[in-house]
Chains A and B, each alone.
Chain A
Amino acid sequence: MELFTNQVLAGIATGAIYACMALAVVMIYQAIDHLNFAQGEMAMFSTFIAWQLMQWGVPYWGAFLLTLAFSFAGGIAIERLLFKPLAKAPILTNVAGFIALYAIINSFAGLIWDFTIKQFPTPFGSSPFLGSQLISTHQAGMIGVTMILLVLLFFFFRFTRIGLAMRAAAAMPESARLVGINTSWMIALGWGMAAAIGSIAGMMIAPVVFLEPNMMLGVLIYGFAAAVLGGLTSPFGAVVGGFLVGIFENLAGTYIPGIGNELKLPIALALIIVVLVVKPAGLFGRPIVKRV
């Protein structure tokens, strides 16, 4: 029983990262109906920016905020330059765009900062949390940050006019234009917010996995799994999905013989496929209705 509790707690801790990543995935999916395969690389690049700022002597929280601002602007720029022109293009063209973006960001990061792993600091320290050996203060901080993010997003979408406009633009673009909403800018804003959220995920995970250009590969797949499980249209679902995937990953690694660390990724992929077959809208998503 003790082992089980430990694994669930550890799963919640890693799940916080997936939850963060899934939030970013859902933000873009809401805006453009596509999964952004380059989301992880964008987060990685943002994390390098934070690292670089700290190398230059900027204190942690200053670097954190500057990175948020940079990522927000960068997300908007990517949408304006690359994906706005592709808005009416077929799905495959968009997928090609995401893959190109993935490759470009990955090699740029390698070029600028090379592929050796780097230490990334945590603002929460890494001592045992509340004297418990189960999770560290960093992991507790990560869970807290994810929760704060979710609450902020909830208030933003529920109680602000710009949040309302973004929801309207995502749900019914034509009607949104007819009430005067600039839907194209709402999409750009969604990209900016997703990039900023992704950068938080990157900065939270970097102290755990070390900073290097390929650090987000696995995380993004878990983020996708979390988003699909929770429902691609629900930020709340994305967070719940993130925690569930984290727990599931840890329990499977512990109790199913032969899974170990190598097989954890295929488990995430299998989870995506099972959810898509059994409950395509996810646990909390709106059922997808195709208009004819």
Chain B
Amino acid sequence: MRRSLVQSILLYGCALLLAAFTAGPLLWLAVMSISAPTDLTEVPLRWIPSQLDFSRYAALLSLDGGNGERFLSALRNSILTAGGATAAALLLAIPAAYAFSRRQASMVLLFAFLATIMMPPITYVLPLYSTFSSLGLLNHTVTLIIVYTAMLLPFATWLMKANIDVLPVEVEQAAFMEGAGTAYTIRQVVLPLALPAIAATAMLSFLVAWDEFFYALIFTNDLSAKTLPVAIADFSAGRVTDYGVIASVGVLATLPPAILAIAFQKFIVSGLVAGSVKG
């Protein structure tokens, strides 16, 4: 269908507006992170930095100096926690997904899985806190890995199940006919076929764990285990007077998920859509 001029203007106007609304806050965050501290306290604001100042990034990425150490240890903890939990969740989710997909495990049970992560974390947090506290496990990366594994597991199971569902079942039957057991078949036949799905599931799981704040806030209290979200909340809560530092931490924490999201956009969007809509 041909568009009239008015329609075209309207269309591109809306598109521009959307682009501005979406990119604006991010752009501003980036600009803040490289503006001179004095630029950020002008009234009204100076939108274009008077000079580019990358010193905050340099400081954050070097171990000497308080901010750098705080940021880098939080980065390490976040990578360990999110990575560890993702690996553990997949390890548990794949057999479970296989049970749901190919061994007639009840869908009600799968939904119960999902229901556990839909509940507010305040439902679980106090008994977990007491238990970890009495085990001396507070403020440990391992603790967060355990909790995040449980948090990622239902969604990972669900996504993997949906992906195993569409694999050709005859290939597995052939493996059984040839005498392979279920474990061998999953490892040698199913997993290689499900590799793209595993990658997508791992990526989404990693992003969810990377984003988690509540449990990390409660279960960690110093450099040895605090993750990035908690560290950022700390930065923002006042110790830092230069807003540019907060902005640069924000930019750095956003880079990994943003790069993953853009690079694997199709993957992620289809995973998201499937994950949120199909039952």
A, B assembled together: no
Where the two chains meet, the residues of A that have a C-beta atom closer than 8 Å to any C-beta of B are none
